[in-house]
Structure 1
Amino acid sequence: MSGAGLPRRLARGGFEALARLDGATQFSRHYPDESNAVLAYHAVGEPAGYGNVSVDRFRRDLDYLTDAFEVVDLPAVLEAGGEKRVALTFDDAYDDFYENALPVLREYRVPATLFVPVAFVGGCPDGYAYRFARSPVDHEAFNDPAAFVDESVRDPGVMSWDRLREVAADPLVTVGTHTRTHLDLARVRDRKTLEDEIVGARDELEDRLGVAVDRFCYPFGRYSEAAVDVVRESHAMAVTSERGVLSDPEAADAYRLPRVRAHEPTHRVRFDLSGLRWRLTELVG
C-alpha cells in the first residue's frame, strides 16, 4: 500500500464505521442539518446489477425518506429553510421504472425526475449497449462504438415512446434530458455534436412527449466546460454523479448538482444524506 493511499483508505474505513454506527443509532438525525440532497437511482427490480435496487428496498427507502425528510421535486432542493429536502432522480428511463418504480411513487405520492437517453428509447442501437456496462475512464475510445466488440453486453431495457408518454403525463414525474446517445461528454470537443446530443435530444423529447424539458443529467456524471455551457444555454438545471449534498442550497451551482448514490447499502445511503457526513469529510480533508 502506498503512503499516499493510506490516509484515503483509513478515511474510507472510518466513514464506513460511522455509517454503520449511524445505521444502528441514527445519531446523524440530531445534527442541525440545513443541507438538501438529490438521490440518484437507476434500475428498480431484479436481478441485481449496477445501480439496481429491489422493489422491496425501494419501498423501504421511501418509508424512511418520507418520515425523515420532505421529499420534493428537483428544483425545490435549491431552496433553503424549513425541513431538509430530498429529491429523487432516475437515470436511463429503464422499463423497470414504468413497471416497478412508478407504482411505488404513486403509492407514496412523491415526485421524481426521469432522465431519458433519446436514441435508446424502444431499444438500443447496434453497437451502443456497452455504454450501460462500461466505464469511459477505462477506455480512451469510449465514444467510438466501433472500438467495442462484446456480444455479452445485452441491450438495456429502455422504455418505448408509448410508455414514456404515459409516464410524462403523470403529475408525479418530470422528464429530463440524458443526451441522445449517452456520450461521455468530457471527451466531446465538437460544438455541433454537443448541441445535437444536448439541445437536439431535448427538442426531440419535447416534440414526441408534448412536454417542456428543462432538466439535464450528464451521462456517467462526466462533462467539460463546453458541455456545461451548452446545458446552461438550453436547460434550467443539471445533475452530476459527483457525491455530496447541497450544504448551502441557495448558493449551489444549478448546473453541477451533486447526488447521493441510492444503490449503495442502506446504512451508507442514509449517512451520505446527512450534512454531518460531508462536514466531517471537509474536516478530514
Structure 2
Amino acid sequence: MDELSTRLMARLHEAFSVDELSKTAIDGLINLSAALAVFGAFYLLWRLLRAALNSAFQRSGADATTVSFMQTLLKYGVLAIGLISALDSAGIQTGAVIASLGIAGLTIGFAAKDALSNLISGILIFIDRPFVIGDLVEVDGQYGRVERITLRSTRIITRDGKMLAVPNTEVINQTVASYTNFPHLRIDIAVTVGVEESLERVRGLLLGLVHESKEFMTEPAPRVVVTALNDYNLALELQVWIFNEREHVELRFALRERIFETLREAGVDMPYETLQLLAPTPSATTEH
C-alpha cells in the first residue's frame, strides 16, 4: 500500500506540476488561437463570397428570393466547413464527433424533426415559388408582405407593422392566397339597397364611379350583380378590376366610402335589416 500510495502521489504531482499545467495552458491557448484564426478566415471568405455573389446577381437581374436563398445556403455551407476546420485545428477529432453523432442520430432526429421539416419546406418553397419576396399574401388568415424567406420560417410584415415568423411547414401545408402573383386583381364591394329601388338606376350610379377613375380597368368591364334577395333589402356587389394589385386595400376603403356618399346624395334607400315585434293578441276568453 505504501508503494502504491507513493506511485499515485508521484503521478498526481507530475500531472499537476507547474510545468505541466503551464504546458497544457499554452497548448490550449495555441489551439484556441488557431481555431479562432481558421474560423475567422472562413467568416471572411463568406463575406467576400457574399459580396461577389451579390454583384453577380445584380448583373444577372436575379430576383430577391433567389438572392436570399443562395445567400443563406452559402452562409451556412461556408461556416459549417469553417467550424469543422476550426475544430480540427484545435486538436478535436471531428471524425469521432461525427461518429458519435451517428450513434445518437435517432435521438437527434426526433429532437430536430421540426427543424428538418422546416428546412425541407423552405427548399420546396424556393423551388415551387408560390410567392416571392415582396408579394402580398394571406396565410392562415394573416395578411401581409413577404419580407424574407429563410430555411426555417417565412417572415411576413402585416399592415400594422408586426412581423410574423410563420414556420415553413405551416406555409407548405396550408392554402396561401397571393394578391400579387398576377398582374391585376378584382375587388368586390357589397352594397344593400331598398327593395323599392330601381336596379338599373343603382347600377348606373355604381358603374359611374369606377368609369370616372383611372385606377380601375375597363377590360374586363366592371359590373354590378345581385347576390341575394332579402326581406327588407337587395344585396348587390360591385365587381371591378384594378391596375395596381398592391393598392387593393386602399382602393377598397376609398371606393366603399365613395359608394356610400354617392348613394346617399342620390337619395338611394339603404335600409338596415329590421325586426318587427308585435304585442301579443289579448285572449278572447278570460280565465276565472
TM-score, normalisation: structure 1: 0.19
Q: Which has the higher helix share?
A: 2
Q: TM-score, normalised by structure 2?
A: 0.19
Of structures 1 and 2, the one with the larger relative CO (CA 8 A, separation 6+) is: 1
